[in-house]
Structure formats: C-alpha cells, structure tokens
Structure 1
Amino acid sequence: DLDGKKPADVTNTIGSSHGGYYKASEVVQNIVYRDLLPMLNRIASRGVAIILLAHAANTKMTSPEGFDIRLAGPDIPNWILPPFIEWADAVLYASRDGEQRVLRAEGTNVILAKNRYSLPAELPLSWQGFVNAMTSNPTNTANRKAQTNG
C-alpha cells in the first residue's frame, strides 16, 4: 500500500519521495522488508520458482574483516542489495569463458555469487544446463520431493 499513500501521491524521484529530502531509500527499504520479501516467500512456499534478474555492475562491498573490496555483482544500489542477497537461494553470475556462456555459482575474489543448492562452481548458461545441475544433486532432488509431498 506504499505506506498509505495513493499512487498519485508517490513521486518519481528518489530525492523527493513522500515529501522528504532523500528519504526514498528508507521508504523503499520498508516496502522491500514489509511487502516484497514476504510476498516472494508466500509465492515460494507454494512451490513456485522465483527468478530475479539484474544487470551486472562493479559493486563495492565491505568484507567481514572491514576491508572495502570491489566485486562484479547485481546492479542494485548498495543500500538495498543485502536483503536480496540474503533472501536468494542462489546468486548466479553470467559471463563468457572463451566462446561459451557460463553461469558462475560460487563467489570468487572478483565475483559476487552464491548458491544453497550445491551447484558446481560453473555450469552452462542454458535452462537445460541449470536443470541438469539441479537434478544431478541428490540433496536437491530429495528437497524437491519433500516439498511436493509435504
């Protein structure tokens, strides 16, 4: 419900949202935590796969040790990126390896990627390649059967 505002009341710029100077990031964070992520959880609980896409960008992150590092990751503003990374079961990075297009499923010192499916570090960038990687892991197959039977 966009914090009780009517659609006509919501402005189009991040600097003037809801009448506050540069308060839009707080409004967006509230909407993400209060509305978007719970809605995505409800959809996922019905067995629907959710795929969120983003372009890649050079992203500045802070390591657990407190050092600033630059990673290729989703082109999402840093102030809203963490909840999406935490929520997602997989953050995959598409790139080229010679002539082949690949998905990277494990992070490196220059790529932000992760997965909770025990996918291989690199797999072909195709739907069939992804499905094959998901179904070749016995843990993923057992989890999927438990979700459909439970």
Structure 2
Amino acid sequence: MLYGVEGIGKSTFGSQAPKPIFIQTEDGLDEIDCDRFPLATKFDDVIAALKSLVSEKHDYETVVIDSLDWLERLVWDKLCQQYGVESIEKVDGGYARGYTHALTLWREVLDLLNVLRSRGMVIVLIAHSKVERFEDPESSPYDRYSPRLHKHAAALIKEWCDAVLFATRKMRTQTEEAGFNRKRTVAHAIGKDGGERVMRAYGSPSCVAKNRYGISEELSLSWPAFMSAMTAN
C-alpha cells in the first residue's frame, strides 16, 4: 500500500509497476496512460473486476486499486443497502457495528487479491493520507500521518500488506523572526516543483509505515527505486 497527500504521484507509482491494470474507484487517471476498468461506482463493480482477472486469460502482471478510501465508501454504501439504512453508523442497530461488518466485505476483496498474488501478480493499493492523534503509551500523544481509512479496515489491510509506504515531500524547517521578540518555525521544500518526492517504508513518530523486505532508508518516489531497495536487502 502506498498512501500520501493528493497529487504527490501515487497513481504514477502504480503505473510504473510491470504491466498494470487499474481498478479505479475515483477519477484522476486522465493524465496517466494506463489500462483500466471503467470507473467503479458500486462495490460489486470492484468485485466483478477482480473476478474477471481471476477467471479470464490476460497478460497483466499488476493490479492497482486506486483508491482504498474511495473503495471504503463503496463498502459502506453496500452495507447501507443491505441493511436498509442511510448511514454506516446505523447498520445493525448502530454502536459502530457497521465498521465491524465492513470487514467481511474487505476480506472478500483481499481473498480475491490473494488468488491473484498466488498467481504471481503484483498488488498495489493506493490511499490518501490523514493526520491522526496517536496515544503512545510510552510517551506523550503526538500527531502522525496514516492511511485515510477507518481504524478497523486500516488494521486489516496493513497486516495483509507486505509493505506500507508513506509518500511525502522532503522538507526542512527553520526558525524566523516574527516581530515583537517572537519567532516562528517555517517549513521549506527541498528540491524543485514543491519539493523532492520521497517515500518511507519504515514506521516513525511522523507516519505509519512498514515493510517485510528490510528497507530502512528513505526512497525516491518511484517503482524502480522500490524494486532496487527490495533486491538490495
């Protein structure tokens, strides 16, 4: 899974993977030359696309779901339809049961992805980021970036993935005079075009990330850089 802010290059990363096909749950691929299924507007559209990759002959080597947070909306819509309610909060009488029931639909997606992975396909999951408050039992609470998903779904998908990558820009901070004996800390981008785009494959207080490949350094935001780091470890 690769997550980060809008426009940083997450879909481009997916398009650089070997022979990709996109399952798109949101618009945003107009500038990228890639094969794709029609825009999924229902959860069943996503399942149908995955089942076609499982059952039909093709030469695609990568499937990219873009994006998970928009897919989550389709999951919730499916549950609301099943239970005849207007909100995920009201599914099965409320009390957050809807988010637990949603895991059944998420597992349906992951089961199909497992079939494709067992056949040698690469799975790339794209998500946007959010800032969350993390209550660290060993220190004071702090803010960190995480995938923009409900915590139950996020936990399930993060465990399933071999790598959770955070896409960001290189920044530096410096203290400047703000007048009246006050100072302020200002962030500046490092590099051109708003800052060098990088990804982190390891967790830190600033972001949720992990990998099972032993990658412990910051990487350029590109598929070749990721592959190079994987083979070097």
TM-score, length-scaled by structure 1? 0.71
In the alignment, the residues of structure 1 paired with residue 99 and residue 140 of structure 2 have an alpha-carbon distance, to the nearest angstrom, of 24
In the alignment, the residues of structure 2 paired with residue 53 and residue 82 of structure 1 have an alpha-carbon distance, to the nearest angstrom, of 15
In the alignment, the residues of structure 2 paired with residue 61 and residue 85 of structure 1 have an alpha-carbon distance, to the nearest angstrom, of 16
Larger relative CO (CA 8 A, sep 6+): 1 or 2? 2
Q: Which residue of 1 aligns with 2:222?
A: 126
Contact 1:120 1:133 in 2 (8 A): no
2:189 counterpart of 1:90? no
Comparing both structures, which one devotes a greater share of its residues to strand?
Answer: 2
Relative to structure 1, the CA distance from residue 27 to residue 48 in structure 2 (aligned partners, 3 Å threshold; closer, same or farther) is same
After TM superposition, give the deviation of residue 91 of structure 1 in Å.
0.5
Bigger Cα Rg = 2
Cα RMSD, aligned residues only: 3.0
Unaligned ranges ≥5, structure 2: 1-43, 45-74, 171-189
Query: Greater shift after overlay, 62-71 or 92-101?
Result: 62-71
In the alignment, the residues of structure 1 paired with residue 100 and residue 112 of structure 2 have an alpha-carbon distance, to the nearest angstrom, of 19
TM-score, length-scaled by structure 2? 0.48
2:203 counterpart of 1:107? yes
2:103 counterpart of 1:40? no
Mapping of 1:1-150 within 5 angstroms?
9=82, 13-17=87-91, 20-21=93-94, 23-33=97-107, 35-63=108-136, 69-97=142-170, 98-99=190-191, 100-137=196-233
Contact 2:134 2:143 in 1 (8 A): yes
SS of aligned partner of 1:58:
strand
SS of aligned partner of 1:82:
helix
Query: Greater shift after overlay, 77-86 or 47-56?
Result: 77-86
In the alignment, the residues of structure 1 paired with residue 103 and residue 127 of structure 2 have an alpha-carbon distance, to the nearest angstrom, of 18
Contact 1:102 1:124 in 2 (8 A): yes
Q: Which amino acid aligns with 1:46?
A: R
Relative to structure 1, the CA distance from residue 129 to residue 77 in structure 2 (aligned partners, 3 Å threshold; closer, same or farther) is same
Q: Which residue of 2 aligns with 1:143?
A: none
Unaligned ranges ≥5, structure 1: 138-150
SS of aligned partner of 2:151:
coil
Deviations 1:32-61 (A, max 9, x none): 23x222222222111111111111111234
Between the two proteins, what is the percent identity of the paired residues?
34
In the alignment, the residues of structure 2 paired with residue 76 and residue 32 of structure 1 have an alpha-carbon distance, to the nearest angstrom, of 12
In the alignment, the residues of structure 1 paired with residue 112 and residue 124 of structure 2 have an alpha-carbon distance, to the nearest angstrom, of 14
Between Structure 1 and Structure 2, how many residues are aligned?
Answer: 133
